[in-house]
């Protein structure tokens, strides 16, 4: 959460973002949207993200 919040401060809440975990594995998961949408999505999830990749595309 803290990493995504820092990205929001740097790039703004409207920057396109993708969180990825378990890449190339059976239970891979991708969460896409603006930083604001991704934060809302992961706040509502029960599962805990231990390790993940964060991609941020600055808003134009």
Alpha-carbon dihedral sign for residues 53, 24, 41, 34: positive
Q: Given pLDDT bands bounded at 50, 70 and 90, which one contains residue 42?
A: confident
Q: Within 10 Å of residue 2's Cβ, how many Cβ atoms?
A: 6
Domains of the chain: 2-57 (3.30.950.10)
Dihedral of alpha carbons 60, 2, 47, 43, sign: negative
Asked if 58 contacts 11 with a C-beta cutoff of 8 angstroms, the reply is yes
Q: Which residue has the higher pLDDT, 60 or 27?
A: 27
Q: What percent of the chain has pLDDT over 70?
A: 87
């Amino acid at each position: 959460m803290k990493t995504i919040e820092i990205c929001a401060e740097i790039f703004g809440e409207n920057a396109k973002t993708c969180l990825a975990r378990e890449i190339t594995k059976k239970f891979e998961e991708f969460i896409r949207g603006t930083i604001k949408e991704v934060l809302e999505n992961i706040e509502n999830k029960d599962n805990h993200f231990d390790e993940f990749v964060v991609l941020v595309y600055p808003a134009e």
